[in-house]
Amino acid sequence: MEATNAELTLDGNAVAGTLVEVFGDDLTAATGTCPDCGNHAALATCRAYTHAPGIVLRCSVCDGVQLRLARTPTGWRYEARVRIEGRFPASG
Amino acid sequence: MTSALEWQLATVTAIHPETAKVKSFTFSLPRWSPHRAGQHYDIRLTADDGYRAQRSYSIASAPERAGEIDLTVELVEGGEVSAFMHEVVVPGDRIELRGPIGGYFVWEAAMGGPLLLVAGGSGVVPLMSMLRHRAAMGSTAPARLLYSSRTYEDVIYRSELDTLAARGDSFELFHTLTRSQPAGWSGFARRIDTRMLGEVSRLYGAKALTFICGPTALVESAANGLLELGLKSERIKTERFGPSGT
């Protein structure tokens, strides 16, 4: 199958389960600020690149890296650049 | 929330073809919990040699259906999980699932409307869960669905959408067919553009609570079009997926 990177782009919604696995909570409804352009948005709106050994979330406005996640033989490794300030109110 | 994280073995109890490339799978869940319309489940497949593939699929059914869920899966060219689901799985098989997951792209009847739903291809799936939930709750919040498909035969949930639109409970359905149209077609016949979005959303104005789901290009052009029309970005929620099209 031939597919460009753009065609394989998902968004933060698609990695909600992995975020629960790594951070113990669904962070996709949390809002964060991009350290590069200042875009303030829910993590669900990030572009998600998942067709690689790791997962990268990028800002939907400037494409700056927000969060990198990789599963290693000894567990998950992550680097967060996005500053997460808030959550939507809990519900349901 | 902790139970949503744990994998459980769900049993496939029914498989329903929606279109040539799309099937709905009913799963009976040993640890069912009600979802919020718009959420998804992760499916995990494990090969004999330990190789694993995992994908997330939107829930199509309403949360009011206890004990089971429907996931609608489009067959993606080269897709490991969708090909297995389409070509191998039969009723009675057990599949690993975890969910419901996702707290962003969700609508509950209590959130009210007016609800503007924009779908491309199988992006209609989480929006269908919202419409089924809306009907099950007896909600009369005004709702409009603008749904882009390639051809008439590619329209998922076609007859059920017609039935919902005929209930007279303020739900209105707008189709656009981008590749070919049957004789006498009276719906839209082009890709979603700002003019089309204006026609569909004008009645609601900036008050519309908007959910857009589909391929990346469609989602971004629809979201930008609605912003141009004056909708507020905080009232527009998006979910994008990759290798598919309208």
Q: Per-residue pLDDT tens for B119-155?
A: 999 999 999 999 999 999 999 999 999 999 999 999 9
Q: Which amino acid is at B32?
A: W
Q: Tell me if B126 is assigned to some domain.
A: yes
**Interface ipTM > 0.85:** no
Say if residue B120 is in the same domain as residue B228.
yes
Confidence of residue A2 (pLDDT cuts 50, 70, 90): very low
- pLDDT at res. A23: 87
B80 lies in the same domain as B137: no
Alpha-carbon gap: B56 to the closest alpha carbon of chain A (Å): 6
Our count of domains for chain B comes to 2
Phi, psi of A55 (to 5 degrees): -120, 135
Identify whether residues B140 and B161 lie together within a single domain. yes
Q: Does B51 touch chain A (CB under 8 A)?
A: no
CB contact under 8 A, A20 and B36: no
Q: Is the pLDDT of residue B35 over 50?
A: yes
Q: Would the CB atoms of A20 and B239 count as touching at under 8 Å?
A: no
Same domain, yes or no, for B113 and B225?
A: yes
CATH code of B131's domain: 3.40.50.80
**Same domain? B139 vs B77:** no
On whether both B141 and B220 belong to a single domain, the answer is yes
* pLDDT above 50 (res A71): yes
Is residue B72 domain-shared with residue B137, that is, in the same domain? Answer: no
- Residue B93 domain flag: yes
Whether residue B67 is contained in a domain is answered as yes
Give the end of a domain, one of B101, B122, B156. Answer: B101
User: pLDDT tier at A85 (50, 70, 90 boundaries)?
Assistant: confident
Given B53, B70, B101, which residue is the final one in a domain?
B101
Does position A87 have pLDDT exceeding 60, yes or no?
A: no
- Domain around B95: 2-101
Cβ-based contacts of B242 with chain A (< 8 Å): 3, 7-10
Co-location of B88 and B24 in the same domain: yes
The verdict on a CB contact (< 8 Å) between A11 and B1 is no
What is the average pLDDT across B9-28? 98
The residue that leads in pLDDT, B196 or B1, is B196
Q: Is B99 on the interface with A (CB under 8 A)?
A: yes
Domain boundary (B62, B78, B101) is at B101
Q: Is residue B190 part of a domain?
A: yes
A92/B36 CB distance under 8 A: yes
Look at B103 and A45 and tell me if their CB atoms are within 8 Å. no
CB contact under 8 A, B101 and A42: no
Q: Which of B105, B107, B221 to mutate to test the interface with A (most CBs of A within 10 A)?
A: B105
Mean pLDDT of A68-90: 84
> Which has the closest alpha carbon to B246: B171, B146, B107, B117?
B146
Q: Which of B37, B44, B40 is nearest to B85 (CA)?
A: B44
The answer to whether residue B38 sits within a structural domain is: yes
Confidence band of A3 (pLDDT split at 50, 70, 90): very low
Do B214 and B122 share a structural domain?
yes
Residue B219 domain-assigned (yes or no) = yes
Residue B81, φ and ψ in degrees, nearest 5: -75, -45
- pLDDT(A6) > 60: no
Average pLDDT over residues B186-194: 97
Burial call A49-74: b when 16+ CB within 10 Å, e when fewer: bbeeeebbbbbbbeeebbbbbeeeee
Find, among B35, B89, B80, B85, the residue nearest to B61 by Cα.
Answer: B35
Residue corresponding to tokens 């009276």: B186
**pLDDT of B163:** 98
| pLDDT band at residue B246 using 50, 70 and 90 as cut-offs | very low
Closest to B4 in 3D by CA, of B32, B25, B27, B28: B32
CATH of the domain at B23: 2.40.30.10
Residues in B closer than 8 angstroms to A45, CB to CB, are 104, 238
Measure the CA–CA gap between B109 and B138, rounded to whole angstroms. Answer: 9
Q: Check: CB of residue B47 under 8 Å from CB of residue B54.
A: no
The predicted-structure confidence for B152-169, as pLDDT tens digits, reads as follows: 999 999 999 999 999 999
Judged against a pLDDT cut of 90, whether residue A7 lies above it is answered with: no
Shared domain check, B158 and B230: yes
Q: Is there a single domain that holds both residue B126 and residue B223?
A: yes
Does any domain span residue B124?
yes
What is the chain B residue with the closest CA to A61?
Answer: B220
For the segment A14-63, what is each residue's pLDDT rounded down to a tens digit?
999 999 889 888 889 899 999 999 999 999 999 999 877 789 999 999 99
- Average pLDDT taken over every residue of chain B: 94
Residue from the list A8, A44, A92 with its beta carbon closest to the beta carbon of B105: A44
Q: pTM here? A: 0.92
Q: B246 in a domain, yes or no? A: no
Statement to judge: residues B227 and B113 lie in one domain: yes
